[in-house]
């Protein structure tokens, strides 16, 4: 690996202030993927809490011994059926996993293209050092 165009100026690598064209594009894509990833799982979890039927509650004993009343989470999302499943269950246990695979596939395609465009794919296979 030879140094290229680094000059003498001080460089700092920071996820939020990418330097170099390659890193800038890579970080932009990473941000999109992580945003989709986070919202798909935890956004849906938040949605489950938001739309839950406030009248359908259950008493739960916490590990501290305290007894609280909370919503069970029953809503149109849990009562709607999709391929036989309660919809929320299908979404989490089946769809999200497929989404993760698709996201990984998408990122790999993107990275291959990016490396090809920069013409810096490795010359020959071999162990790095």
Partner 1 sequence: MKRMVQWGLSLFFVLMASNVFAAVEDLNPEGKFKVIPGLLMISLLILFVLVGVFAKAKNTEDYWAAGRGIGQMGGGAAIASNWMSAASYLGMAGLIYLKGFFAISYVLGWTGGYVLLLVLMAGPVRRYGKYTAPDFVGDRYYSQGARLLSALIVILISFVYSVGQYKGIGMMFNWIFGINYQTSVVVGTLVVLAYVLISGMLGATKNMQVQYVVIVITFFLPLFFIANKLGYFSAVPQIGYGAALYDIGHGGNGLSAELAEPSFYLPFIQNTAYHWFALCITLMLGTAGLPHVIGRFYVVPKVSDARWQVVWGLFFIALVYWSAPCYAAFAKFSNLMGTTGVAIAPDAIVVNAAELAGLPEWFAGFLAAGAVSAAFSTVGGLLMAGASAFAHDIYFRVLRPNATEETKMKIARIGTVALGLSIIVVALNPPALIAQIVAVAFALGANTFFPLFLLGIWWSRTTKEAAIAGMIVGLVVTFGSMLIPKTSVLAYYVPFTSSAILGVPLVLLVMIVVSFMTPEPAREIKELLYRVHNDE
Footprint on residues 9-48 left by partner 1 (CB under 8 A): 10-15, 18-23, 26, 29-30, 33-34, 37, 41-42, 45-46, 48
Cβ-contact 34, 28 below 8 angstroms:
no
The yes or no reply on residue 67 touching partner 1 (CB under 8 A) is no
Q: Considering the complex, what minimum distance in angstroms separates the CB of residue 24 from partner 1?
A: 9
Spatial separation of the C-alpha atoms in residues 63 and 74, rounded to whole Å: 23
Cβ atoms of 62 and 69 within 8 Å: the answer is no
Helix (H, G, I), strand (E, B) or coil at 62: coil
Per CB under 8 A, the list member of 55, 65, 67, 69 interacting with partner 1 is 65
Q: Kindly state whether residue 113 participates in binding partner 1, applying the rule CB under 8 A.
A: no
């Amino acid at each position: 690996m030879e140094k290229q165009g680094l000059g003498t100026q001080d460089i700092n690598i920071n996820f939020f202030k990418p330097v170099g064209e390659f890193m800038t594009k890579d970080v932009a894509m990473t941000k999109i993927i992580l945003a989709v990833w986070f919202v798909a799982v935890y956004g849906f979890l938040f949605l489950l809490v938001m739309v839950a039927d406030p009248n359908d509650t259950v008493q739960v004993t916490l590990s501290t011994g305290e007894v609280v009343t909370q919503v069970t989470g029953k809503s149109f999302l849990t009562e709607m059926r999709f391929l036989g499943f309660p919809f929320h269950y299908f979404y989490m246990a089946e769809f999200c996993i497929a989404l993760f695979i698709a996201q990984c596939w998408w990122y790999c395609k993107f990275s291959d293209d990016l490396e090809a465009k920069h013409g810096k794919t490795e010359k020959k296979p071999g162990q790095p050092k």
